[in-house]
Every structure is written in structure tokens, then in C-alpha cells.
Amino acid sequence: MSTLRCRIIGLCATLALLVMVVATPVVLVAIRAVPSPGDFSPNRLTSPDDGTLAVAVIGVVAWLAWLVFTTAVALELAARTRRIRVPHLPGLAIPQLAAGRLVALASLLFVAVPTGSQVPLPTPTVAVVPVHTTLEQPRINHIDTVTPTVRLAAAPLLAEVQAQTDETIPYTVRRGDSLWKIAQQQLGEGRRYDEIVALNEAVLHGRPDFITAGTVLRIPHVTPSAEQETYVVQRGDTLSEIAEVQLGDASAYPTIFEASREIEQPDGGRLTDPDLIRPGWRLTIPGHADGDEPDEQRPADPSAAIHADPTAPIDREDPPPTSPAPTDGPTNLADTDGTSTPGWLLPGLAGAGAILAGSLLIVLRQHRRTQQRYRRPGRIIVSTPPELRPVEKSAHHAGSLTAPRIDVLDKALRHLSTACAMQPRLLDAELGTDSITLHLGKPAVLPQPWHGERTSWSARLDSDFGTDSSHPAPYPLLVSLGQSDDGALSLVNLEELRSITVTGDAAVAAGLGRHLAAELSLNPWSVLVEIDTFGIAAELATIDPLRLHHHDGPDAAFLERLSRDLAAEGGTEEPDRFRALLTTAEQDPHAFGEIAKILTAGVGRPGGAVVTIGGEASDDTVEMHVTSIGRLVIKALELDLVAAGLTAEEATACAAIVDLTRQVDDEAIPSTPEADGGPPLTDQAGAIRLPAAEPRPPGPAGPASLLPLAATTYEQKAATTTADVEQLAPVVPPDTASRVADRDPDLDGDLTVWADPNSRIPRLTLLGPVNARTAGDATAVARRKPFYVELLAYLALHPNGVTTPQVCDAFGLKPDRARTDLAVVRRWLGIDGRTGELHLPSARARAGHHDRGTAVYQLQGVLTDMDLFRRLRARGQSRGEDGIADLVTALDLVSGEPFTELRPAGWSWLLDGDRLDHIMTCAIVDVAHIVTTHALSVDDFELARRTAETAYRAAPDDETSRLDLIQVAAATGHADLAERQLIDDIFNRSDDGLGPVAVPDRTAHIAGGHGWARRTRASR
């Protein structure tokens, strides 16, 4: 039906309103149907009626009907003008309904779009997976123009359309829906259906009275008020359970009942009995915006999912142009599972940038290993400053999933280069969640475990690619460019493309250029690539100063020298270095054009690539076209992707975190605040700190120290230094020892409970693979235990309690979901049999709620091995030389490397504040070093060996534990083993696959003191 009909319907409704509101009183006056008090006098009422009384009664009824209808119309118009809910008049629902519908229909006269100016929304395209056809010849010819064999899908939506829908949400019409019903259910007022009509003129084609199931409409996004929120009843819900989850108190269900009684439910019913609620009903949660935290501001409600695969495309509000989200990607889980994207997540390191995140995480882990090597006993590696925590957390969040895949891809390609007689010409690759797919420039036959034919081959990520990774990477210029609509990450071999021009949107192109420079600097197969940037990616200058060089200008001398070198290196020999040049179109196009000609004209491997950002693509370059909404189209490879990209701020943060972790400084372990506000007694590793402890005197320290002999005695017997002994084994005065004993009278009882396999007290393991044992309802966490173990750990590591907004921020949850998950943990932990109270009480029940005006979730009666370890260390140190037994007991709690086997993409909150995972790793090594030093001094070699091995399992990269193992081997007569360990694990140690790292001063001092260096040189 045409828009003209909408106009006619609106005109008729407007005329009807005018007749009822204006013409009705005129007619009544004209026919003299204006009742007066005399018409109802006693005489008139008791005398036979000649028709006058009947006319008067009809007149009264008519005037009252006119007054009611006119009032309803006035209220409707006023409410629509002010965009507020229409107040309901008791007993007048029918006239209000009629007035509302007439006003809504009348508005069609004013909101319909003329046919001549109607601009329909573009038809969404079906998500297209890049199609790779089997070709007899290479798909790329650097002389001739390549015509793609598959037509690419157009960009799914225009930027202008996207901007128009920022404040709307999609709604798919279901069978039996009408616009009135949709408005009633989604907007709270059926009369607001004209707003849906106005937003969907092109979709409805002028027929608001006819919609079909499956139609996707845009409807206004209704934000819940600050005072209440809506909860949709699920099957099996009860009001008391909803109150427990939503308000933290099951007895608060009457408030939900009272707030929801007047709501007209989707099925037409109303809440009249608190014991009868039906699935799909909507309940108002009073005060829900404040939830359990009445004095705290509620966090924003982001729109993307953190618990989904971080490599999946993400949605963002106002996405930066350099790393936009796809408009037709997978369904966002945030709409259905109560999760959201946290504010700290850098979009350039998620979704299409997930391979860069994984590569960054791999480099950070390499640097952390070197930092642990240089750490001195009693100290920890330098923590990340607050301004760089978002980039570290983003790399952990997305990279924890992609880093293992990157390792497998690297190994698979190295294996491929050795298993094939002739190295395959790789054009591009797809990295999925469980497989790798390669697309070749020429047909080839690949060995097992690859399967496929001609130019397309795949292998599962869990395939056996061998263990030898010493072969050089065959494709150093392989980089990720984006993500396909099915979620696969797409990588392209720039060396095969040789000369590339990125056309299209300038901001998106610049973001892609920064991404390429960052990834070539970080990914594990590009260590032989030298990157030179001109006019772009200046923010990345410090990410790898040895390989990435930024040029502010064209640098004619460098380009001339490079041209000569490339011309001289031509031939069939394998290049021994590779080059990537990234430049903007404004930077001396002639010089870069000459370099591109040299690369494209060569008969052998070019060993390099030139990427020009901006400008127009020529016939001898491969065009990568980017759009303003972040799509990347490479016709020569038949790829249509969500483009990867880094903003300038994201690039700066990436370079800064890499440069920071390259430093090898250490710092003091932070102290643990005392509950009474007094001076700290211990640090967060459990060690008694100065001034509660006293410095060791010259010579023997006496029985008040864990190591009572002179420091020089321990230097001769163990792999330690005087500084180590002074730091780890000070003298503890009697008053400090008394304070330690007085503040922890329950330690032995808690150790007994921990060791009792039949105990019903919840126990959380953190000093090894993370796990938990509880006596509550295990079915509550079935198939979701890793997540709930993490949530339990978060609560345990915040002993003063956490608020709902804090949980939401840490886990990327919405308040409803956070309260639900906390209720699950409450059921899982159960009741403390010693006190009869819940291990996780309701937030409102905690004393903190009354003391600080803030409701907090706070565990009680839950044991952790980390807490027991620190308490044992403090008590052991307070007992002096008699405390070694407590330290041995503490080490018996260690089951491996702390905080391992974590949930993928989880635990990002652990990177905030004091890094307890780092602190406890250092604490285990330091305690083990004390015990090993003591054991070697008394020739207890079995204790020394067992303790050193415990430390090594907990911290294999810490040099202290390695040196302890070497000294134990030497002391027990295994000189050859000690020498081999010294050469392989100390002097030739490399944490990044490159040359050996310089030996730390402490290591050199210990090796020299024991004559290890002299024996090693003699053996050579």
C-alpha cells in the first residue's frame, strides 16, 4: 500500500478527532442539548415526561462522554509531546484506548515520508565467507591484472544508516505480532506504535497495518529508569528466589509484588497473587539500579560480551574508525547472557585484532620470564602502572585464546617448510578455533597432517606437527589483516603480494597500517623482518628499536641505498633478511615506486613488500580497499573482512607496555594493611617486614633468625649471597613474635581442616592449578565450574568484600547476571557447619553494609592455600630457627605453578592492583630458598633437593630456584649434571629464541664464588 493511504488514514483520524472534540459540543449547543438544573427539578421528575427529560438526560450523557474523551485526547497529546508515559485514569481504560489509537493514527498524517523523497534502508547482505576457488595458475600475477572469479558482497550497511540506528535496537517480528503489541511489550505503551512506524517507513512500505513474521524492525531503545529495572520471569522462578538474586534478600519479595501489580503482562494478565507468576511476565525491581550498593553509582551498561570468545567480532558504541565492529557478524551474546564489554578492553586487540593480541601476550610473557631471572630474593618484578593496565588486560583477555593457536601455526608452517621438497607459495591463511586453512598461489601436494587438494589445504590445530621448531620461519611477512564473518582470523603473506596500496577511508587505512607495523614487530615468525615506516606508525618507534625504524620524512638517502641493496640481492638464493616498508602516499611516491618495481620484477623470492597507505592503486599493485565502517576488501584474494586496526592511542600503549617489560628492575613487595590501622606487620608474601623485624648483626644472627649462622657461612654452603640472607632472614624480636602468635590462634586448626579429606569447609587452591572443593550444591556449577571457581577466587582475594559494581567491572557482567552468579556461588558453598551461617551471606546482611552504607559480598569460613602459606611463613619467621618446620609445611601446600589452568579469556581482574600471582610465585621461591639454604648448611640434602624442586615447579623461570638445583646437584656429587645445567639453563639461557641473555650480577657473583665459571671454561 502506498504512502498516500497512510496520509488518508491519518487525515481521517484527524477529522474524526476534530468532529468528536470540536464538532460535538457545537452540535449539542445547536440542538439545544444543554441541560440546566431546571430540567431536573422535582416537578419535572415527578410529572409525566413529554420527551423533554429524556433529551436532557441524553444531553448530560453526551456532554460527559465528550468531556471524558476530550480529557483523554488532551492527556495523550500532552504525554506524546513531552515523551512521557500516559497516566491511566481509573475506570476510563476504554475511552483512553480509543483516544490513544485515534491520536496514533492521526500522527500518520505528519510522520509519513512522501513517496518522492523516500530513501529505503539498504537491504542487508548475507554474510559472505571468503571463497577460494581452485585455480590451475597462481591467483596473483604482478604484471597482469587479476580478475576475481567470485563477486564480493557489498558493504552491509552505510555509515549514515548506522548513525541513524545508534539509539535503536533490532526486533524480529514473530507470528501473531502487531505494531500495537510490539509497542506495548517493548516500549511499555501500545500507543507508541507510531514511533515504530516512523523508524521503519522503508521496511513497512507505507503499510503499518500489515507486518509479516521474520521482518526486522528498528525500535527505540528504552533505558530503564534510575529507580527501577525490569526482570523477565523464567520457567521455575518464584518471587522469593527473584528477590534473593536481584535484591539480595528473599524476604523482600513483597516489594517486587507491589511494584509489579499494575503491569499489563504480554498475555494480558496481571500479577494478583505473589505465588503465581508465569514465564515471560515482566516484573519491576524497585531500587534495582542501586541494587545492593545504595550509595554507589551504577556502572554503565555496555553492549558487548566478554565471556564470548574475545576473538569474535565485537560491537561498540561509536566505534573508532580504525577498528570498527562488523554490522553483520555473529549474534552478540551481550543481548542474551547478561554480559558486557568492559571499558578497559582495547578494540584494536579484540575481534579482528586478536592475533596481534596473542603476539603481544607472547612477547610480554617472554619479557616477564627475563624479569623473573633478574629478580632478587625478597623483591618482585616491577608491576604495570595503572595507565598501561588496560593494554595488558586486553592482551591477556583476547591473547590467552589466540596465543596457543599462534604457537601451533608457527610450528605448522616451520614443519611444512622442511617436509616439502619445494616450499609452497602461500598467499593467505585462515586461523579458526580448531583448524588452519592455507591458500596457495600454485597447486601443490602437502604432507600429512594436511588434507585438501591443489591450492586449498587444511589441518587441525591438534595435529602432530613435530617438536623441532629450530627451522627458520618460511613466511616472515605473514600478517593478519582482519576477520571473516564466520569468525576466522585471516592472514596474508605480504611477500607474495609484494606491492600493496591501501585505498579508501583514511582513518581506517591508517589504523590498518599501525596494526601491520605492530604485528610485524611482535609475531614469532617475523624476527628476521626489518620494518621501516614513513609518515605512519610513529607511535610504535619503541616497540622494537632494533627492527622497527620510523622515518619522519621520505629519507632519500636511505631509500636510494635500499634500492641498490635490493637490486644487488636479486637472484634465486634465499634471502637472509626480509624488509617491510610502510609509507603514506605523500612520501616520495617515485622512490617507493622504484623499490616496488624491483620487488615485483624479480624472478626469485622478493624478500620484502611495500605497503602504501592512501592514494590510488596502480595496475602493478594489489589493492586493499577499506570502507568507513571498517570492511576490508581484497579483490585479488577474494577476501571481504572486518579490518584490523589500531588507533594512535592503542599503538602508543602497545609500544609502552613492551618497552616497560623489557626493563629488568625489581621492587619491594607491598605491605599488608593491619585491621586496626597500625603499622604493617607483614608484606603480601607473608614475610615480617621492617621495622617489625630487626637487621641482622655482623656475624651469627642467633636463634631469633630463620638462618642463625653468619651470612658468610651460608654463602659457602648454598647458592646465596649475604644480601639474600639479610633480606630473607632478619632478626625477629620477642614482641613481634608475640603479636604474630596473638593475631592467628586458629592456624593449626585451619591446617587440620585443610588436610582432612572429609572436611565440609570450602577449600580454594591457588598455589598450583586453580581448583575448589566445597560441600554445597555441586549441581549449581555443573559444566560451568571454571567460571565459578574464578568468581570464588575473586571474592577470596578481596577479604574486605566487594560490591555488585565491582563484580560487574571485573567480570564484564550486568547487575542482574552478577547477582545471579553470586547466588549460584552461595548455593555451591553452602552453610558453615561451625557457625550455621552461609559462607557467602547476602550482601545486605554483611556488617559492612551497616558500617559504610554499602552492601558488600564477603566470604566467611573459606580456606585458601595462599592464605595458609602466608600465615605459616609469618609464624615460621617469628619463631626464628625453630620456624623452618612451618616453612616446610607451607611449601607442602604448593602443587605447581600458582594461578595456572585458568579459564581462557578470564582472570583479567588479577592484573589490577598488586599482582598476587607474581607475589606468591616470588614468595614460594624465597621460602624455598631459605629452606634449601638451611638444609645445605646442615647437610640435609634430601630436604634441599625436595625444596628446590618445589620452587622450580612453581617458578621455572626464576634464576634463584635454578641456582639452588645446581648447588644441590654439586653438593650431592653430581658435578657433571650441575655443569650441564649451568651451561644450558644459566649461561646459554634465552627467553625469546634469540641469543643468550646477559648473566645477572647476582648469578655471576654466586657462580664466581663457587668456582662454577672456572670449571665451565675448563670443561670447554
pLDDT given at position 471: 81
Mean pLDDT of 456-469: 86
Mean pLDDT of 944-950: 97
Q: C-alpha grid cell for residue 703?
A: 636463634
Q: Which of 98-112, 166-180, 369-383, 663-677 reaches the highest mean pLDDT?
A: 369-383
- At which of 598, 629, 661 does a domain end? 661
> How far is Cα 682 from Cα 693, in angstroms, rounded to an integer?
10
pLDDT given at position 930: 98
Summarize pLDDT for 867-901 with one digit per residue, the tens.
999 999 999 999 999 999 999 999 999 999 999 99
618 belongs to a structural domain? yes
Summarize pLDDT for 336-392 with one digit per residue, the tens.
456 777 888 999 999 999 999 999 999 999 999 999 999 999 999 998 999 999 999
pLDDT given at position 198: 80
- The residue type found at 411 is K
pLDDT given at position 266: 77
**29 CB-contact burial (10 Å; exposed 0-12 / middle 13-18 / buried 19+):** exposed
Higher-pLDDT residue of 206, 254? 254
Contacts with 385 (C-beta within 8 Å, 6 or more apart), sequence order: 660
Mean pLDDT of 666-694: 87
Domain count, the chain: 6
> How far is Cα 242 from Cα 238, in angstroms, rounded to an integer?
6
Contact 642, 325 (CB under 8 A): yes
333 belongs to a structural domain? no
Contact 482, 348 (CB under 8 A): no
996 belongs to a structural domain? yes
Q: C-alpha grid cell for residue 657?
A: 607496555
- 19/63 same-domain check: yes
782 belongs to a structural domain? yes
Summarize pLDDT for 471-505 with one digit per residue, the tens.
889 999 999 999 999 899 999 999 999 999 999 99
Summarize pLDDT for 554-583 with one digit per residue, the tens.
788 888 888 887 777 765 567 778 999 999
Confidence of residue 436 (pLDDT cuts 50, 70, 90): very high
Higher-pLDDT residue of 102, 581? 581
- 213/244 same-domain check: no
Confidence of residue 178 (pLDDT cuts 50, 70, 90): confident
Mean pLDDT of 322-326: 35
pLDDT given at position 222: 65
Mean pLDDT of 735-743: 94
Summarize pLDDT for 697-706 with one digit per residue, the tens.
999 999 999 9
> Is pLDDT of 773 > 80?
yes
> Is pLDDT of 1007 > 80?
yes
- 448/597 same-domain check: yes
690 belongs to a structural domain? yes
Confidence of residue 333 (pLDDT cuts 50, 70, 90): very low
Confidence of residue 158 (pLDDT cuts 50, 70, 90): very low
pLDDT given at position 30: 84
379 belongs to a structural domain? no
CATH label of the domain that carries residue 555: 3.40.50
CA-to-CA dists, residue 250 to 230, 236, 260, 389, angstroms: 17, 15, 16, 38
DSSP secondary structure string, 634-683? EGGGTEEEEEP---HHHHHHHHHHHHHHH---EEEPPBPPPTTS----BB
Q: C-alpha grid cell for residue 778?
A: 555441586
Closest CA to 962 of 981, 943, 935, 939: 981
849: left (phi over 0), alpha (psi -120 to 50) or beta: alpha
Mean pLDDT of 523-547: 93
Domain that holds residue 598: 399-661
- 410/491 same-domain check: yes
Mean pLDDT of 629-652: 95
Contacts with 237 (C-beta within 8 Å, 6 or more apart), sequence order: 277, 279
- 205/238 same-domain check: no
pLDDT given at position 298: 33
479 belongs to a structural domain? yes
- At which of 818, 843, 861 does a domain end? 861
Angle at CA 45, nearest 5°, toward 41 and 50? Answer: 110
- 99/196 same-domain check: no
Share of the chain above pLDDT 70, in %: 80
> Is pLDDT of 958 > 90?
yes
Confidence of residue 114 (pLDDT cuts 50, 70, 90): very low
CA-to-CA dists, residue 367 to 356, 372, 382, 662, 814, angstroms: 17, 9, 12, 6, 35
pLDDT given at position 564: 80
Please provide the average confidence, as pLDDT, over all residues in the chain: 81
Higher-pLDDT residue of 583, 177? 583
> How far is Cα 206 from Cα 5, in angstroms, rounded to an integer?
8
Summarize pLDDT for 131-156 with one digit per residue, the tens.
333 333 444 443 333 333 333 333 33
- 241/260 same-domain check: yes
> How far is Cα 874 from Cα 856, in angstroms, rounded to an integer?
29
Contact 903, 803 (CB under 8 A): no
CATH label of the domain that carries residue 775: 1.10.10
925 belongs to a structural domain? yes
> How far is Cα 410 from Cα 404, in angstroms, rounded to an integer?
10
- At which of 796, 830, 861 does a domain end? 861
Confidence of residue 961 (pLDDT cuts 50, 70, 90): very high
- 636/717 same-domain check: no
- 190/263 same-domain check: no
With residue 100 as reference, give the H or E element that holds it: helix 93-111
pLDDT given at position 250: 60
Contact 35, 60 (CB under 8 A): yes
- 506/466 same-domain check: yes
CATH label of the domain that carries residue 239: 3.10.350
Gap between the terminal Cα atoms of the chain:
93
**How distant is the alpha carbon of residue 304 from its chain centre?**
9
- 817/847 same-domain check: yes
- 541/647 same-domain check: yes
> Is pLDDT of 329 > 50?
no
Confidence of residue 4 (pLDDT cuts 50, 70, 90): low
Confidence of residue 159 (pLDDT cuts 50, 70, 90): very low
Summarize pLDDT for 33-77 with one digit per residue, the tens.
787 777 777 766 777 767 777 778 888 888 888 888 898 888 888
